[in-house]
Chain A
Amino acid sequence: MASDLLSIGASGAKAARAALDVTAQNIANASSTGYVRRSVQIEEVAAAGGLLRANDISLSGARIASLHRNADMFRQAEVRRTNSDVTRSASELEGLQNIETSLEQSGVYTSIVEFEASLQRLATDAVDSSLRAAALASADAMAAKFNIAASSIATAAEGLQFDATSDVDQANQVGRELARINLGLARAGAGSSDQAALLDRRDLLLEQLSGVADVSTTFAADGTVAVKLGGAAGATFVQGKDAATLTMTSAADGTIAFAVGGAALTLNGGSLAGAQAGLAATVEYRTQLDAVADSIAATVNTAQGNGADLTGATGTAMFSGSGAAGMALALTSGSQIAAAASGSAADSRDSTNLAVLRADLGTLDPAGGMNMLLFDVSSRVAARELTHEALETIASSAQVSLQEQAGVDLDTEAANLIRYQQAFQASSRAMQVATELFDTLVAIG
């Protein structure tokens, strides 16, 4: 006799038990990050008829063929791609928003207007010491506001650099981990629970890496992955059990550049690309802010040199230092403002030179320049915000779509629990029948 009812029942019970274990595992991991729903594939165990037993019944029950991992490669790739886009735009947007806040909240614009206003007020009575003191105080406030704006931009840039450094460390860590997983995958059996766990870990790490830089992946049949940074044409980062090192260098002006294994690398996605773009924008706006500060200082200082102060002496420079960060008030007393024309006597009520200074400032229009600068950065932020919102929507729908397909549905698992419990009970019943059959045969004897 080729079939054994008892062992068929036992194998069915064993298969049902294994399926129950997998269901319980799914339920337990319903909210674990990166966990992909498993399902068991149960197959029949039967032998083909042998010699002289062509039509014999030869049944041996059922067994677990493999543990299936319900991952969709395409949806995972979509999640990685959209994740790179969204992290790049998030970190670039953060950089730009910081610049916007620095320029706007420091009140540079208002202080320029106040400076203009105080000069205009001084023009009504150029020898009034309180008006002169007020003009000097507003000049001091303006220089201080420029300093504040420059230092908060510098702080924002430092923040971006700091984030980028830690992202590079994370990328290197993920790279080494992926290489180790590749090694494990090469040794794991296909369809084993061991392999499924490694694949889960691999996909989670790839998703993390895609948040840092844009990745291009190639999967081998055994599940090992080759990773390139910077898209399909980029540099090889992980290949088999080897991981290269990603490095970051920062230039004197604060911009950053990347290299893999010493070769320069261009990144198009991920938070690193965003930080790079954000830092480039920081340099751009800092230069523009410096230009506004320098032009004000140059115009005012030139006019000072062409006039006479309250003592009749030739005026000295009002501002010292260069750039928004270095701008400082050089005058110590309101009487040093050169309002009168050159060669005027002491205490002259002449305000020709002040009029020239105001006309020159009017032509320069620093408030207008600052307004344009603020408009430029804020409209850029507004445009990036729109893009970011769109990218976020795309990324979250890709994420949800992957979760829908690969995640655990508790209702399905509840149904499976009942199904496999019934299968277990039925197989147990078959074993009971085998015992009863045996008892019947013994009773005959």
Chain B
Amino acid sequence: MTVNLSTSAFYAKATGQMTTLRGEANELQEQVGTGQRLTRSSEDPVAAARLRTLSRSDRLAEIDQTGSDTAMSELELVDSALGSMADIVFRVQELATQAATGTLSPAQRAALGVEVADLRSTLVTIANGENGAGHALFGGQGAGSAYTDNAGIITYAGSATGKAIDLGDGQQVLPSLTGPEVLEFQVDGAPTDLFAVLGTLASALEGDGTDPVAASQAALTGLGAGLEKITTSQTIIGARMNWVELMDDRRTTNGELRASETEQLGSADLATTLSRLQQVMTVLEASQASFVQLSSLSLFSQLN
């Protein structure tokens, strides 16, 4: 059987093959240039859908990280505030011990009383500290300051519970404690707080008529209970910091896993892509050369 290969069929075939090869080479070149295997979802719908989910998780993890950072800095603020409170209690304990000896003159006691009163107002300032966003550090979810000073009477004005911050994976952390959780305690079954203990001591030392020695001894009991409460709070805050760090580590690990999956799904492997590109180019060059050779083989060029 003879095949009648018409001239136009020859050209159509040759150009068709070369166009296909050029298209393939172009696509590979694009992959090398962008480093991405996919330019449109339809090139690999399943991988593209997975990549979208991964990018969403990445974005939300970023926000979790911001939340975690906020929580951490607030916990650090609380920790340092608790440290300062403990220092104040130590100092007042020293002063109360001095006052409890009974060998001091009233004037000396009054001087100690003034210092206790000063320390008390410092304690109020610390308890009314603010976090990075300007909210009361120990005020729970209250809108204003944590404590109000009403003619020497210090009252808690915040809410009963704090505001938890999301750390991702459904986990939350309370970045602070409320004022009562740190400063309120019981002495001999009666509820009291540090402000009251300090206030009573200061006024007894300054000479309000009560027995300063007995008042100092009573204050020492209260201060012991108060210090214990503050130390316990420091332990709680330390544990929460650990928890936040643990969640940070977990997030970093998950992020790395996501990054490696993204790399696998969406990135063009340079070695494979380049060698395929080389292969396609070689075939393209060969078919171009053979096309030029064949198309010059016309009977007309042999006729004179």
Contacts and interface: CB of A to CB of B under 8 A. Distances in A.
A412 B8 CA distance: 13
A400 B12 contact: yes
Interface stretch (A144-152, A271-279, A378-386): A378-386
Nearest to A378: B41
Given A109-B52, A113-B56, A408 B7 contact: yes
B163 A120 contact: no
Where chain B touches its partner, the secondary structure class is: helix
B145 to A, nearest CB: 13
A403 interface: yes
B42 A382 contact: yes
A104 B42 CA distance: 10
Contact of A378 (B12, B48, B135): B48
B60 A113 contact: yes
Nearest to A385: B42
Most chain-B CB neighbours within 10 Å: which of A347, A414, A418? A414
Interface in A178-207: none
Contacts of A349: 135, 141-143, 163
A130 to B, nearest CB: 10
Given A128-B133, A371-B49, A403-B12, A100 B42 contact: yes
B57 to A, nearest CB: 9
Interface stretch (B26-34, B61-69, B98-106, B121-129): B61-69
Contacts of B143: 127, 345, 347-349
Nearest to A389: B20
A374 B62 contact: no
Interface stretch (B109-117, B239-247, B295-303): B295-303
Interface in B148-206: 163, 165-166
Contacts of A101: 40
A425 interface: no
B63 A374 contact: no
Interface in B28-82: 40-46, 48-49, 52-53, 55-56, 59-60, 62-64, 66-67, 70
Contact of B40 (A348, A378, A405): A378
Most chain-A CB neighbours within 10 Å: which of B16, B46, B166, B299? B299
- Contact-size category for A: 35 or more
Contact of A409 (B4, B45, B67, B135): B4
B6 interface: yes
Nearest to B44: A382
Nearest to A348: B143
Given A345-B143, A414-B298, A31 B8 contact: yes
A173 B161 CA distance: 81
Contact of B303 (A374, A409, A418): A418
Contact of A404 (B5, B56, B62, B166): B5
A251 B9 CA distance: 44
A121 interface: yes
B292 interface: no
B300 A410 contact: yes
B286 interface: no
A404 B48 contact: no
A37 B6 contact: yes
Interface in A106-161: 109-110, 113-114, 116-117, 120-121, 123-125, 127-128
A399 B6 CA distance: 12
A97 B42 contact: yes
B60 A125 contact: no
Contacts of A113: 55-56, 59-60
Contacts of B303: 414, 417-418
B6 A403 contact: yes
A348 B3 CA distance: 88
A407 B13 contact: no
Contacts of A345: 143
Interface of A: 30-31, 37, 97, 100-101, 104, 109-110, 113-114, 116-117, 120-121, 123-125, 127-128, 345, 347-351, 367-368, 371-372, 374-375, 377-379, 381-382, 385, 396, 399-400, 403-412, 414-415, 417-418
Given A371-B53, A374-B48, A410-B7, 18 more contacts: A30-B7, A31-B7, A31-B8, A31-B11, A100-B41, A120-B64, A121-B66, A374-B49, A375-B46, A379-B42, A381-B40, A381-B41, A382-B43, A399-B12, A403-B12, A405-B6, A414-B303, A415-B299
Listed from nearest, the 9 A-B pairs whose CB atoms lie closest are A407-B6, A378-B41, A381-B42, A379-B45, A414-B299, A403-B9, A375-B49, A378-B45, A378-B42
19 contacts: A30-B8, A31-B8, A37-B6, A97-B42, A116-B60, A120-B60, A123-B67, A124-B165, A128-B133, A349-B142, A368-B53, A371-B52, A378-B41, A378-B42, A381-B40, A396-B16, A407-B6, A414-B298, A414-B300
